[in-house]
Amino acid sequence: MFIGHAALAFAAKPLAPRTSLAVLLAATYWLDMVWPVLVLAGIEHVRIDPGNTAFTPLDFFDYPWSHSLAFALGWSVLFGLACLRAGKRVAFLAGLLVFSHWVLDFVTHRPDLPLWPGGPMFGLGLWNSVAATIVVESAMFGAGVWIYALSTRPRDLIGVLAFWGLVFLLGVIYIANVFGPPPPSVTAIGIAGVAGALLFTVWSWWVDRHRVST
């Protein structure tokens, strides 16, 4: 899942109006922010395997440190603790958003998510249907954007253009991932993952700086 994770970050804004969208977005994508670093370091592994599922050409055959249930819970606790300075409520929400990533991946992935390193694999396989995946993610994304737009208002023109520019870019990348060619290499996947994490974190911080909660 891609824009589905962003949807929860947008939707969580009314629950933490003083917390930057960058923190909320980083929380929902945290497992996928850790993963490319581990891939580039050779600790976790992925194959480019067109046809692995109908939706993605990637075979996530070895990623227990970022995407097992046990480590997802651990990352959730650590992220929440890192947010304690903003208050217990925000810390708890941030931890939930981190864990939401595993829950959504459980729905979309084929059974490739381990319960713990070396443990049994689970996944409901929504990715076996391109149409169903697009419908579910698009509905989530639309709802999340709508909630964020209603719960904030722009301070200036940047608050309008930067916000809708972020929404547009997320949508374009999603469409490219669905209908574009497979990535050229595993290294390219890792680099794109790290670069994307940095880009969207900074961009979402910029958006939130130019909007105010209503």
- The pLDDT value recorded for residue 102 is 98
CA angle 148, 154, 158 (to 5 degrees): 115
- The pLDDT value recorded for residue 1 is 83
pLDDT tens figures, 79-116? 999 999 999 999 999 999 999 999 999 999 999 999 99
CA distances from 151 to 15, 18, 144, 146, 214 (A): 10, 12, 11, 9, 5
Q: How large is the average pLDDT for residues 117-125?
A: 97
Mean pLDDT of the chain: 97
Among residues of the chain, what percentage have pLDDT more than 70? Answer: 100
Q: How large is the average pLDDT for residues 141-163?
A: 98
- The pLDDT value recorded for residue 140 is 98
pLDDT tens figures, 20-40? 999 999 999 999 999 999 999
